[in-house]
Structure 1
Amino acid sequence: MEYNKNFYQIHSNDDIFQRIKDERAEIGYYDLPYQDTNDIKNYVATVRQRHIVVLGIGGSSLGARAIYEFLLPSNKYQKDLIFLETVDPLEIKYCLKKLDINDAHFVVISKSGSTIETISLFKYLSTLVEVNGKNCTIISEAKTKLTKYANNNDIKVFELAENIGGRFSVFSVVGLVPLAMVGADIDNLLNGCRRVSDSFFKQKEYYQPIISKARFLVENKARFNINAIFSYSSSLESFNKWYVQLWAESLGKLNINKTRQALTPIALIGPVDQHSFLQLIIDGVRDKTVTFIKIADLKDDTIIPKSSANLGLEYAEGLSFNDLLNKQADATIQSVEAQKDIPCDVITISTVDEYNIAKLMFSYQLLVSTIGQFLQINTYDQPGVENGKVILTNALKC
C-alpha cells in the first residue's frame, strides 16, 4: 500500500527560521526597509495641494492610515491626509465636505488596478473635478488598466511589485508616497523597519521574542484561538484595524493537511475597553491571549489640575494624563497576570515618532510570516476574499 498523506507537524525553530530566510527571495516586503526613497521625495516636493486624498481600501489604505493617525496628534502637518475607503454614499459626501476639492491631490491606489470600490470612487471624483497629472498620482502594478490609464494621461504612476501583497505593502510606495506628501519622515520609517529586520535575521534582539511567540501561538492554537491586542492610546486605533486585517487575512487558511486554522484577532483600546471587554477576558472562557501595547512618552505633559470643587479623587491631582493612561494599563496588566492562566505579554513603545511605529508594524509583519510558516499555510494569498469578488463581479454583469 502507498499512502502519501502530508501530515502537519510543528517544525523546529531552526527549520522555520531557514524557511523564512528562503522566503525572502520570493516575498517582496522583506526588502522594503532597504529601498531608495529619492524618487518619492523628489516627486512629493512638487505636490502643492493642501488635501491629500487616498482612494484605496484594505491593504491600500490601512497601513498608511495607521501611521498617519499615530503621528498626527504630536505633529503639526501643513497638509492633511484623508482616506476614502468606502462606497457608502453618505460617508463619501461627508468626507468631501471637509475639503476644498480644487485644492486636493488624489492618490489612487489599487494593486490589481480593478478594485471596484477604488475605481468607482475615482470615476465619481472625475465628475466633480478635472483629474490630471497636476492633481493625481496612481499606484498600481505595472500591467494594470489603471497604470495604462496613468501613462496615457501623463499622470505620475508608482509601480507596485507583484510580489508585495496589499496587507504587507505599508512600507512600499503604497504607504510611503501619501505619507511623504503630508510631511512624514519616510526615511525614519524605514530606519525602524531596518532595525527590526537586521536584528531578526541576525538572530539578535528581535529574533527570540518573535519566533517564541509564534511557536507558542501555534502550539496552543486549539486552546487559545483568540488573539487580542489591548492598545493603550487612541492614536493606535487605526493600527488596531491594520493588525486585524494583517492577522485575519494572512492566517485564516487551510494548512497542508487541509485543516482549517483559526487564529482570530481582536483589537481593543484602553482605557475605553476596560469597561467592556476586560470583563470577558478576566471571567470568561480561557480561549484568549492578550498583548498590551503601551506608549511610554506621548509627548504631552497635560496634568490633572487641582480643584476646589468637592469632586473627590484628590490623589490623582497633579498627575499627567500620560502617566494616568500608563498606570491604567499597568493595573489592567496586573489584573490579567494575577489570573495566572491568561497568556499575555507587553510591548512598550518608547515615544511617538516614525521610527517606533515602524518597528512595531514591521515586527508584526515578521510575526505573521513566522506563524504562517509554523502553520504551513500560504500566508500571502486570500482565496476566501477573492471568491467573494468573483461572485460580486458575476452578479453585476447579469
Structure 2
Amino acid sequence: MISFDFSKCSLKDSEMEALSKEVAKARATLKKERESGAVGFWALPFDEDLLIRCRNVAKDIRYRFQNLIVLGIGGSSVGLRALSRALWPSDNRLRLLIQESPDPQSVEKILKAIDLNRTCINVISKSGATIETTTLLDHFLTALKDKVGEKWRDHVVVTTEQNKGKLFGLVEKEKLIHFEIPENVDGRFSVFSAVGLFPLTCIGVNTQKLLKGAARAVDNHDNACRNGTIHYLLNKNHGKTISVMMTYGDALKEFGGWYAQLWAESLGKEGKGQTPLACQGPQDQHSLAQLFLDGPKDKVVTFIKVAPQRGDKLGELMERECNATAQACFESGCPSVTITLPSLDEETLGELLMTHQIQTAFTGHLMGINPYDQPAVERIKKFI
C-alpha cells in the first residue's frame, strides 16, 4: 500500500478539528454518490466483464498489428499516457502512439514512420464529438483507406459513449468494434474504464492488478480525504494557491500532467481553486526549488517517491534527494505532503491514481462546487 507523511503540512490539529463537520458532510456526499451509482468512477475497478472483453479484443490486436495509435485529448489521453509510461512492459512488442493535438507536423511524422497495414487506431472521445479528435480521425482514416481499402474497418476501435455523438454514429454505420464510456463517468475520471484499460491491455499491462489497486483505494480512502482537507485549508486559510506535484522517478514523469488536468478542471470554478504545477525531482531541484524555497509563500508541494530496494544505491540517493527537498521546503515555510510508493507496479499505480481521483472529488465537495463538470471549457468550444 502507498503511505502518506503529513508531518510537514504545517497545519495544527486544532485547525483540522475545526473543519470536522464539513469533512463529515463531504465524506457523506462521497458515500452517497458511490452507493447510489450517480457518479460512475467508483464502480470502475469492479467491472470484471469489461476486463474480460478488453483482454479478448486486445489478444486479437496484439496478434494482427505492430502499432496502436490512440487518438484522444484531455481525459481521453492523459491517464493512459501516465500509466503506459510508468508500467511499460519490457517484453511488449506493440508500439503505442498517443496523438492528442491536430498538429500537422506531428501527424505527418507518425504517418511516415508507421506501416498502416500493421496499424490499429483506437479513437477515444466520451462525447463522440471532440473536434480535435474527430478531425484527427478523419485525417487518419483517409490515409488508412488509401492504404488498405475496404479492410479499414478491421483497423479501428472506437471508445465513446453509447447512443451519442459522431463517433457512435460511425460505429453503428460501419459496424466497428466499440467500447462504451459510461454516461456517469466524466472524462478525467475515466482512466479505469475502457479509455485506459483497453490500450493498456494491448501493450501487456496487467490490468487486473491495476484495478485491484484502484479498488483498494475505493475501500479505504481516509488518506485521500485527509490530503484533500489539508490542501483545502492551506488554500482557504493560508494563501497556498499553487499545488505542486513533484515526482521522483522517471517512470512517474507523466503522472504530474494527469494530476494537473484532474485538479485544475475539477476544482477551478466560481473563482476558486488551486493552480497545479507538475515538476520532477531531482532535476527541478536545480530550477524550480529555488522559487519554492525563496519565492512567494503561495505553494503546497506533494512529493511522490519510490521506496528503494535494499542495496539500491541509485534508489537510495533518489530518496535522500526527495527527503532533503521536503525538509528544506518545510524550514522555508513551504508545507508539503510526501507519498511513498512501495514499488512501481500495477497495484501501486492503480491505488495512486484512484486515491487522487477521490481526493479531488472530496476537495470539490469541501469547496462547495461540482467537481465533475467543466463549464468554462465548454465555453471555449463555442468559439472554435
Common topology (TM > 0.5): yes
Deviation at 1:191?
Answer: 0.3
1:261 equivalenced with 2:282 (yes/no)? no
Which residue is equivalent to 2:57?
43
Residue 144 of structure 2 contacts residue 152 of structure 2 at CA under 8 Å; is this kept in 1? Answer: no
Instruction: Tell me, in whole angstroms, the C-alpha distance in 2 between the residues paired with 1:321 and 1:267.
Output: 23
1:16 equivalenced with 2:26 (yes/no)? yes
Supply the AA of the counterpart residue of 1:391. F
C-alpha distance after superposition, 1:164-195 (max 9, x if no partner): 10000000011101111111111111000011
Match of 2:41 among 17, 29, 46: 29
C-alpha distance after superposition, 1:137-178 (max 9, x if no partner): 001111122112112212101111111100000000111011
Q: SS in structure 2 opposite 1:20?
A: helix
Match of 2:229 among 215, 226, 249: 215
C-alpha distance after superposition, 1:206-234 (max 9, x if no partner): x1x22222222222314111110110112
Instruction: Tell me, in whole angstroms, the C-alpha distance in 2 between the residues paired with 1:127 and 1:84.
Output: 16
Q: SS in structure 1 opposite 2:269?
A: coil
Instruction: Tell me, in whole angstroms, the C-alpha distance in 2 between the residues paired with 1:10 and 1:265.
Output: 26
1:81 equivalenced with 2:96 (yes/no)? yes
Pairwise mapping of residues 349-360 of structure 1 onto structure 2 (< 5 A)? Answer: 349-360=341-352
Which residue is equivalent to 1:329?
322
Supply the AA of the counterpart residue of 2:43. D
Which residue is equivalent to 1:109?
124
Pairwise mapping of residues 225-264 of structure 1 onto structure 2 (< 5 A)? Answer: 225-254=241-270, 260-264=271-275
Structure 1 ranges of 4+ moved more than 4 A: none
Q: CA 1:10–1:195 in 2, change beyond 3 Å: closer, same or farther? A: closer
1:181 equivalenced with 2:181 (yes/no)? no
Q: CA 1:80–1:94 in 2, change beyond 3 Å: closer, same or farther? A: same
Instruction: Tell me, in whole angstroms, the C-alpha distance in 2 between the residues paired with 1:262 and 1:120.
Output: 32
Structure 2 residue runs without a partner (length 5+): 1-18, 146-150
Residue 225 of structure 2 contacts residue 358 of structure 2 at CA under 8 Å; is this kept in 1? Answer: no
Which is further off, 145-154 or 359-368?
A: 145-154
Supply the AA of the counterpart residue of 1:362. M
Residue 66 of structure 1 contacts residue 242 of structure 1 at CA under 8 Å; is this kept in 2? Answer: yes
Deviation at 1:297?
Answer: 4.3
Percent identity between matched residues is: 35
Instruction: Tell me, in whole angstroms, the C-alpha distance in 1 between the residues paired with 2:72 and 2:87.
Output: 20
Supply the AA of the counterpart residue of 2:162. A
Supply the AA of the counterpart residue of 2:41. Y
Instruction: Tell me, in whole angstroms, the C-alpha distance in 2 between the residues paired with 1:95 and 1:271.
Output: 32
Match of 2:303 among 292, 296, 299: 292
Highest CA radius of gyration, 1 or 2?
A: 1
Which residue is equivalent to 2:157?
137
Match of 1:388 among 364, 372, 380: 380
Instruction: Tell me, in whole angstroms, the C-alpha distance in 1 between the residues paired with 2:53 and 2:309.
Output: 32
Supply the AA of the counterpart residue of 1:261. K
Instruction: Tell me, in whole angstroms, the C-alpha distance in 2 between the residues paired with 1:71 and 1:40.
Output: 17
Deviation at 1:46?
Answer: 1.4
C-alpha distance after superposition, 1:269-294 (max 9, x if no partner): 11111111100110111110011100
Supply the AA of the counterpart residue of 1:140. T
Instruction: Tell me, in whole angstroms, the C-alpha distance in 1 between the residues paired with 2:309 and 2:120.
Output: 30
Deviation at 1:22?
Answer: 1.1
Structure 1 residue runs without a partner (length 5+): 1-8, 201-206, 255-259, 302-318, 393-398
Deviation at 1:298?
Answer: 8.2
Instruction: Tell me, in whole angstroms, the C-alpha distance in 2 between the residues paired with 1:113 and 1:385.
Output: 16
Q: Structure 2-normalised TM-score?
A: 0.88
Supply the AA of the counterpart residue of 1:80. R
Instruction: Tell me, in whole angstroms, the C-alpha distance in 1 between the residues paired with 2:309 and 2:248.
Output: 11
- Bigger relative CO (Cα 8 Å, ≥ 6 apart): 2
Which residue is equivalent to 1:203?
none
**Greater helix share, 1 or 2?**
2
Instruction: Tell me, in whole angstroms, the C-alpha distance in 2 between the residues paired with 1:93 and 1:326.
Output: 41
Q: SS in structure 2 opposite 1:52?
A: strand
1:66 equivalenced with 2:82 (yes/no)? yes
Instruction: Tell me, in whole angstroms, the C-alpha distance in 2 between the residues paired with 1:347 and 1:219.
Output: 19
Residue 10 of structure 1 contacts residue 374 of structure 1 at CA under 8 Å; is this kept in 2? Answer: no
Instruction: Tell me, in whole angstroms, the C-alpha distance in 1 between the residues paired with 2:277 and 2:287.
Output: 13
Deviation at 1:11?
Answer: 4.4
Q: CA 1:198–1:225 in 2, change beyond 3 Å: closer, same or farther? A: same
Which is further off, 43-52 or 363-372?
A: 43-52
